[in-house]
Amino acid sequence: MGVVDWLRRLVGGRTPVDRGIYYYVRCDKCGEKIRFRVDPLWDLSPVYEGEDQASGYVVTKRVVGQKCFRPIEVSLTFDRNRKESGRSVTGGHLISAEEFAAEEP
Ligand SMILES: [Zn+2]
């Protein structure tokens, strides 16, 4: 740990680390691209299958854009290591970060 880091810690000025995972969806109706964030610690609900330990996690997000206000429902499933294992989207579809950033033709 360098002196600067030590001083920073001393004054409590830590840089917050964003642990969120960002996803990008496109609305099937109006084509709007919307970004949303999943917090792997707060948003995930454990799934129990007769075990004491969670066998996986699930998160459902309702994403609403600015254009048509039609909610897009995104369900993501994660394994017990909080790695994504499945996704389903109603009212839209997931796109890549590159697609999200690309200029519309
Ligand atoms: Zn829309």
Neighbours of ion ligand 1 (CB under 5 A): 27, 29-30, 32, 65, 67-68, 70
Number of compact structural domains in the chain: 1
Give domain status of residue 22, yes or no.
yes
What is the pTM (predicted TM-score) of this model? 0.76
Give domain status of residue 72, yes or no.
yes
pLDDT tens digits, 48-88: 887 778 899 999 999 999 999 899 999 999 998 889 999 99
DSSP track, the chain: --HHHHHHHHTT-PPPP---EEEEEEETTT--EEEEEE-TTTTPEEE-SSSSS--EEEEEEEE--SSS---EEEEEEEETTS-EEEEEEESEEEE-HHHHHSPP-
Give domain status of residue 42, yes or no.
yes
Beta carbons of 72 and 63 less than 8 angstroms apart: yes
Measured in angstroms, how far is the CA atom of residue 13 from the centroid of ligand 1? 40
Tokens of residue 32, six digits: 């709007």
Task: Write out the residue range of the structural domain in which residue 30 sits.
Answer: 18-101
Give domain status of residue 46, yes or no.
yes
